[in-house]
Amino acid sequence: MTHTALATLMKERGRLGPLVELIRARQALLDEATTAAELAAADPAYAPLLAEAQAAQSERLPDIEARLVALFVSSSEVNPTELIVEVRAGTGGDEAALFAGELLRMYVRLCERRGLKCELLDQSHTELGGMRDAVLAVSGEGAWAAFKFESGGHRVQRVPSTETQGRVHTSAATVAVLPEPDEAEIIIADGDLRIDAFRSSGPGGQSVNKTSSAIRITHIPTGVVVQCQDEKSQHKNKARALKILRARLLDHEAQRLHNERTAVRKVQIGSGDRSERIRTYNFPQDRLTDHRIGASFHDLPSILAGAIDPLIEALARSELEARLKLLAASEA
């Protein structure tokens, strides 16, 4: 058995393990009740045992079955452990660039809180210290659960430090969460790529504008363009750029399929449309509002420090409820 095949089997075992445990727990309760009923039928003296078994079943069985259904529904979802997270400044000029940087730091801290590995693949700064865009690689068990709801438009409302009259400004950033595919999933022909080398640019340093180490890759069939310049090595920048390109091409295909599957769209939190505004961070009121579920959370400093677990849990509950409703409707 190859290493890849073994890794695939281990992932599948990890996915099915919790389901198997709940199924066994449910069956054990049913077996206890059956045994008690048989004993009671054979000898009325065992009637108290029957009553005890029925009481245990009535208390524990509904909870186990509810967890089993929830896990069964969620386990059918793709659960990648390696992601590409892209953050870009949107409308709002320098304030949008500053906010994009704060979102990136929030995601890095979220990874630290959840024990996920993250690596900054590429980052582009503005002259005033903001961030035009960044690409973060996230990996580990639970990566998808932590980031699956982050794709979309993030809006911020606050008074910028440069505002002299205290007026609240609105700016935005966009986030895209892309599963990172295996090389075998996305096969890229050499003839489909145009690779350009150019001199890196940045806030300073000996490597800036000295050598043509930065790489820009254009995928000609789709027009997708990726560039990397964070590494001093052209070879490393090319490897990183190809990694990002594969993720974007996989997402490109997923978006195409997504637009065809209207039934799936109804049960997802958010349409997957990058232009959709999913969240507002209102600093004057110290409030974050997620527009997909109509829920608000307070304490923005803690939230931007990565403490978004209550929000993630609320979104997960809402999505599960939608999936269960769809399942019930399909069986009706």
Confidence of residue 207 (pLDDT cuts 50, 70, 90): very low
The angle formed by the CA atoms of residues 123, 124 and 130, to the nearest 5 degrees, is 110
- Tell me the pLDDT band of 286, cut-offs 50, 70 and 90: very high
**Number of residues in the chain:** 332
Residue 212 has pLDDT above 60, yes or no: yes
Paired residues of 253 in beta bridges: none
Supply the pLDDT for residue 299: 95
Average pLDDT of the segment spanning 94-103: 93
Rounded CA-CA distance 86/173 in Å is: 10
Average pLDDT, the chain: 80
Most confident of 143-157, 175-189, 190-204, 312-326: 143-157
Q: Say how far apart CA 25 and CA 223 lie, in whole Å.
A: 52
The residue that leads in pLDDT, 296 or 19, is: 296
Q: Residue holding tokens 């910028």?
A: 160
| Cα dist from 283 to 21, 29, 99, 274, 277, whole Å | 45, 51, 12, 24, 17
pTM, entire model: 0.67
Distance in angstroms (rounded) separating the CA atoms of residues 62 and 45: 28
> Shortest CA distance to 87 belongs to which of 217, 204, 182, 178?
178
* Residue 130 neighbours by CB under 8 Å, 6+ apart: 89, 94, 95, 96, 97, 98, 100, 101
pLDDT tens for residues 236-255? 888 888 888 888 887 777 66
Instruction: Report the distance separating Cα 160 and Cα 155, nearest Å.
Output: 14
**143-175 pLDDT tens trace:** 998 999 999 999 999 988 767 677 899 999 999
Structure tokens at 94: 């320098």
Q: Are 282 and 157 in contact (CB under 8 A)?
A: yes
Per-residue pLDDT band at 111 (split at 50, 70, 90): very high
Of 135, 132, 134, 124, the C-alpha closest to 98 is 132
C-alpha pair distances (Å), 76 with each of 114, 161, 264, 268, 323: 23, 47, 13, 13, 11
Residue 7 confidence (pLDDT)? 64
The 3 state secondary structure assigned to 153-166 is: EEEEEECCCCCCCC
* CA dist., res. 83 & res. 177, Å (int): 7
* DSSP conformation letters of 113-173: HHT-EEEEEEEEE-TTS-EEEEEEEEESTTHHHHHTT--EEEEEEE--TT-SS---EEEEE
Express as a percent the part of the chain with pLDDT over 90.
29
